[in-house]
Amino acid sequence: MKIKFLGAAGMVTGSGYLLTADSGDQILIDLGLFQGPPEIDKLNNQPLQVNCSLLSGVVLTHAHLDHCGRLPILEKLGFKGRVFLTAPTAELAEFSLLDSAKINKEDHPDNLLYDANQVLSLVKLFQLVHYDQPFNIGSFKITLRDSGHIIGSGTTEIEVDSQKIVFSGDLGNTPEDLTEPTEMVKSADIVVLESTYGDKIHPPGEASDIIRSEIHTIELSAGTLLLPAFSIDRTQELLHIISHLKSANLVKPETPVYLDSPMAEKATLVYEKYRSFLNDEINKDFLDSDPFSFPGLQVIEDQKASFALNETTGSKVIIAGSGMMTGGRILDHARHYLPLSSTRLLITGYQAEGTLGRQILDGDKEVFIGRQKVQVKAQVTDIQVMSSHADQPRLLNWLRSIQGVKKVILTHGEDVPRAALAAKITSDLHISDITLPVLNQELDQ
């Protein structure tokens, strides 16, 4: 058996793995976009080191673009198989990829990675599967477990050539506000483990307390709270938390909250549709009501209305994409509001190296948004307790529960976090066979 690493090797984007059986059968697990500064982004246009005509199929762990964003290129490269995924992942991936195609056309009109027609063609290859129900692709026997990261996300267990290899996918920060707890894996010979927060312990505290404090502050100052948020999961979590705060009168019911993200609006409808994938609190406490709606919520439908928000006065909360401030409507709001000392910017998720969000989080007082230099006078807060990724203790706990592990391969993490996690796995779990692969490296197992 061979494993080739097509991305997320020393970085947190571009996840993709080529698995080759002794029989010659091949499958992909994920094929995500590289996201970040130009030197990372250009990797999307490098030739894919896979003979796609030989692929028996693809397993998609979840719908974030860093895991699914390159899938539409497969058909033009000769792929004729199916893409296996859960029902929520199928719906989320479709509109995420259509949005990605639109952005790619706007940003790179002379060098398109793929277009909307290629996305729609890919969607026709989707094959829905269920958690805990094995299925076969060629000589691979595959089972998806709920990874607890976002709705529909899965850990992939694969049995082939008398071995069991497990791809963690992105593991959730259990317990989460929306998703079910991360499902444990009973046994494996080889584990390919994410390491996004491999050197971190998420701080104690409740996200709702921080968000309440931030909203209360802008209510007193008539300022603006900017919440750059990933459209899938993070936005729904924020809406759910604010819903609780308003129903408990912990923030003013009349304080306007603007959802300025068409993709997040679509994602929220998917979360409402597939409530059976969410946790007990959602399914019991909100049996007859909408867990993502509340007084004062206004959905911004078009770009003109988005621009008009910057002319409104008084206290307000703006939730907009993208989560790392690499594009989307948050950028126009950032240009307008970051120079104002009355603004509060709440970072709600991971910020990769080279992104605007990371620059601001690192304390830069001047940043470029497009070609415009923007001063950062806003109060910046990092709410690490909202991470949808497992931290070091949770990663270790998940790995510890797996019996028979002989080898661990650390991916989906920058080099410092995964080196720290490797050392911790050796010291705490006494597993010494640990590999930190590089891009396009292939390992024989």
CATH of the domain at 403: 3.60.15.10
| Residues 348 and 428 reside in one and the same domain | no
Mean pLDDT over 193-201 rounds to 96
Does 379 lie in the same domain as 312? Answer: yes
pLDDT tens profile 278-299: 998 888 877 777 889 999 999 9
Q: For 369-381, what is each residue's pLDDT tens digit?
A: 989 999 999 999 9
**Mean pLDDT across the stretch 60-87?**
97
Residue that terminates a domain, selected from 370, 386, 402: 386
Of 53-57, 325-329, 367-371, the range with the highest mean pLDDT is 53-57
Q: State how far the alpha carbon of 361 is from the alpha carbons of 226, 330, 335, 365, 371, in Å.
A: 14, 15, 16, 10, 20
Q: How many domains does the chain have?
A: 2
Last residue of a domain, one of 386, 409, 434: 386
> 330 and 366: one domain?
yes
pLDDT at 321 over 80: yes
Q: Are residues 398 and 380 in the same domain?
A: no
Q: Is the domain of 117 the same as that of 128?
A: yes
- The domain in which residue 11 lies consists of 2-200+388-444
Strands lying side by side in the sheet with 135-137: 135-137, 140-146, 154-160, 163-167, 190-194, 407-411, 434-435
Residue located via tokens 């008398």: 162
Render pLDDT for 129-188 as a digit per residue (tens, 0 to 9): 999 999 999 999 999 999 999 999 999 999 999 999 999 999 999 988 899 999 999 999
For residue 299, the tally of other CB atoms under 10 A from its CB is 15
Same domain (yes/no): 354, 399: no
Instruction: Please give the pLDDT value at position 87.
Output: 98
Task: State whether 357 and 219 are in the same domain.
Answer: yes
Are 253 and 328 in a shared domain? yes
Residue 268 shares a structural domain with residue 394: no
More confident residue, 361 or 384: 361
With beta carbons less than 8 A apart as the criterion, state whether 1 and 24 touch.
no
Q: Are residues 375 and 412 in the same domain?
A: no
CATH number at residue 341: 3.40.50.10890
Q: What pTM did the predictor assign?
A: 0.92
Question: In the predicted model, what is the mean pLDDT of the chain?
Answer: 94
Residues 179 and 299 in one domain: no
- Among the three residues 339, 362, 386, which one is the final residue of a domain in this structure? 386
